A = this chain, B = another copy of it.
Amino acid sequence: MLKSLIPVFLCFLLICCSSFMKAQGQQENKKFITETGYLLFLPQDYAKDAQKRWPMILFLHGSGERGTVIDSVKKHGPPKIVEQKKDFPFIVVSPQCAPGENWSANTLNKLVDEIIKNNRVDTNRMYLTGLSMGGYGTWEYALRFPDRFAAIAPVCGGGDPGRVWSIRSLPIWVFHGAKDLAVPIKQSEDMVNALKKVGNDVKFTVYPEAGHDSWTETYNNPALYEWFLKHKRKAKIAIKVNPTVYDAYIGVYELEPHFSLTILKENNRLFVQPTDQPKIELHPETEKDFFIKEVNAQISFVKDSKGKVTELVLHQDGDKSARKVK
C-alpha cells in the first residue's frame, strides 16, 4: 500500500514543477489577448424572418467615449438612438476604443468579419460613420478597405487627402460645423476637395453656426439613414478589354532609382512585376485603370497628347508617378 503511493506522489511533484517553473534557455509560444468591447443592436423584427439579411451600421465614437465602461458609447449617435427606437432598421455595431487609443482599421475590419459570421448581415449594405476621432477613423478605415462599405458618413473628422483615389467611387456624405474649434472644418474641406478632383460627387453638409457638436443634428436626421439605404456596395469588377490594348502598356516604369515596375502581357492577361518581387495580375476597371486583388493598390496608365503611353500612376497609400523608361 505504501509502495503504491510513491508514483502518485512523484506525479504530483512533476506537475507542480512544470507549472511553476518557467522555461529557461528556450523560447516558449505564448498568446497575448486584447479585448474590444462593443454594443450590438439587432432590430426588433430580427427574429421574425430567419432568412432576412439586415443592413448594418458600424459607428465609431469620439475621443471622449473611450474607456472601459461600454455605456459611454451610448452617449451620441446610432447607439443612443436605438435605446429609444427599437425598430431602427439596421444592425448597429458600436465598438469602444480603449483609453488613449485610436481606431485601428485592422481591428475594426476583423470585428466586422466576426459580426458577419454570427449575424444575418446584408454584406452589400454595410455603412460606416463616426464623429470627431470616429470621423478620422471612418476616413482611415475606408481608405484602407475601400471595397468594404456601401457608403460612409464621416462627421467632423479628417484624413489623408493624398490617398483618396481608391475611394473615388464610394458614396460619401461629410458633415462639419463651421465654428468647430476642436477639429477645424479645413480637415473636412481638404478631403472633400481632394475627392472632387478625382471625380467623386461627395455630399458636404456644413452647419454654419455649429461648433464641434455637428453630430447631434446629423444623427437625428432621418435623411442620413435614407441616404445610406439608397446605396449598395459596388465591388470592383473586371471589365472585358480587347487584349491588344495592353500592348501599349508593356515596358519598364521607374518608380524610384533602382526600383521599377515591369508591365508584362502573358496569355492575353496583364501583370506587374516590381523589382525583386513576384508578378501580380492587373485587372481592368477601365481601359486605362487596373486594380490588384491581393492588396489595396491600383495602376493607371497615362498617355501624352500624341496617344503614347509615357508613365503610370501607382495608387497605393497615395499616388506615385513612374516614368516609362523602356
Contact = CB atoms under 8 A, between A and B. Distances in A.
Interface of A: 21-47, 70, 74, 79, 82-83, 86-87, 92, 94-95, 98, 100-102, 104, 106-107, 110-111, 114, 119, 179, 181-182, 184, 212, 256-259, 275-276
B34 A40 contact: no
A323 to B, nearest CB: 17
Contacts of A101: 106
B43 A24 contact: yes
B74 A276 contact: no
Nearest to A275: B181
Contact of A24 (B28, B45, B98, B276): B45
Nearest to A110: B34
Contacts of A79: 27
A95 B100 CA distance: 22
A143 to B, nearest CB: 14
Nearest to A101: B106
A79 B45 CA distance: 53
Give the oligomeric copy count. 2
Given A101-B106, A182-B276, A276-B181, A36 B45 contact: no
A22 B118 CA distance: 10
Nearest to A80: B27
B38 A26 contact: no
Contacts of A70: 29
Contacts of A119: 22
Nearest to A37: B31
B33 A33 contact: yes
Given A31-B37, A33-B34, A35-B33, A181 B25 contact: no
A182 B110 CA distance: 28
Contacts of A31: 35-38
Contacts of A22: 42, 46-47, 119
